[in-house]
Amino acid sequence: MVSALKQPRSPAAAETDLNLEDALQLLRQAGYADPLQGNSVTAAGLQKIIDALCELSLRDTLTGLANTRHFMATLDQEVDRVSRSGEVALLLLIDIDRFKSINDTYGHPAGDQALRAVAQSLTKNVRPMDTAARHGGDEFAVILPNCRPSAGHAIAERICKHVAQTPIVLADGTTLRLTTSIGGAHISPWRKLSSKELLKNADQELYRAKAQGRNQVAMDTAAAIPVSSDEKQQLFSRFGQDKE
């Protein structure tokens, strides 16, 4: 921990010297290599420290994913970008099924392990340009810029499947199978929605995925309404005999 009780510094030292010890300790704890590498402070070294701290402030401690602050800022940016670029983007909300009972039955360390496992599944299955975030307790979110509905659906299915096929082994040797429910909302330029409305839509879809039995994906219908072969078959059913 960073020492809460610091030695008061003399006014003269506060004017001229930098006290970087707390910052460097924070970074060490978070697993960063020493940005100064034992050298004295230069502007470049200081910049490295600042960059690392900024990065740290946007990350979720437990999972290493983007935290809620970073997620909300990115979502706002994406909503704005979509309205300018005309591209479709996608917001996914991912929730671990029956997470509470994992916590209750196996304890919080198991819960944490589950959260980390799902975070890894997310990282493995999204594209480099996507932003995966932990958004509250056991809920995750992914923002997928420039994402066609079919591609978005495939990515969501992939995440769902990957989690279900990756059991975790707890400290006591218990094997735990996790599943997730995923709700998706499209960010499309001609349906002007705020970040808040998008989150609400994705949340509704998430609820639908849960209600339909969990371990599945539900997406809003924006721009993704395929016509099935059954429909075509019925549509053309009388064609053969009618046309001559």
- Tell whether residue 244 is a contact of another protein (CB under 8 A): no
User: Which of 189, 207, 208, 214 touches another protein (CB under 8 A)?
Assistant: 189
Per-residue binding letters, 35-74, with another protein (x by CB under 8 A): ----------------------------------------
Angle between helices 149-164 and 108-125 (to 10 degrees): 140
Return d(Cα 180, Cα 93) in angstroms, integer: 10
Number of residues that bind another protein (CB under 8 A): 25
> Which of 56, 87, 161, 176 forms a contact with another protein (CB under 8 A)?
87
Beta bridge partners, 182, equal 94, 217
Stretch that binds another protein, among 34-42, 113-121, 195-203, 228-236 (CB under 8 A): 228-236
Smaller CB separation from another protein, 69 or 232: 232
Of 12-20, 47-55, 172-180, 236-244, the window that binds another protein (rule: CB under 8 A) is 236-244
Instruction: Work out whether 231 is an interface residue with another protein (CB under 8 A).
Output: yes
* DSSP one-letter string for the chain: ---SSPPPPPHHHHHH----HHHHHHHHHTT---SSTTSPP-HHHHHHHHHHHHHHHTB-TTT-SB-HHHHHHHHHHHHHHHHHH---EEEEEEEETTHHHHHHHH-HHHHHHHHHHHHHHHHHHS-TT-EEEE-SSSEEEEEESS--HHHHHHHHHHHHHHHHT--EE-TTS-EE---EEEEEEEE-TTS---HHHHHHHHHHHHHHHHHTTSSSEEE--TT--PPPHHHHHHHTTTHHHH--
Which of residues 59 and 153 has its CB atom nearest to another protein in the complex? 153
241 binds another protein (CB under 8 A): no
Interface region with another protein, contact rule CB under 8 A, candidates 20-28, 81-89, 129-137, 176-184: 81-89
Contact assessment for residue 63 and residue 111, using Cβ atoms and an 8 Å cutoff = no
Residue 129 C-beta: closest distance to another protein, Å: 18
According to the binding rule CB under 8 A, does residue 238 interact with another protein? Answer: yes
Interacting stretch for another protein, rule CB under 8 A, among 48-56, 69-77, 78-86, 161-169? 78-86
- Binders of another protein among 207-226, rule CB under 8 A? 221-223, 225
Q: Give the residues lining the site for another protein (CB under 8 A).
A: 83-87, 188-190, 192, 221-223, 225, 227-228, 230-232, 234-239, 242
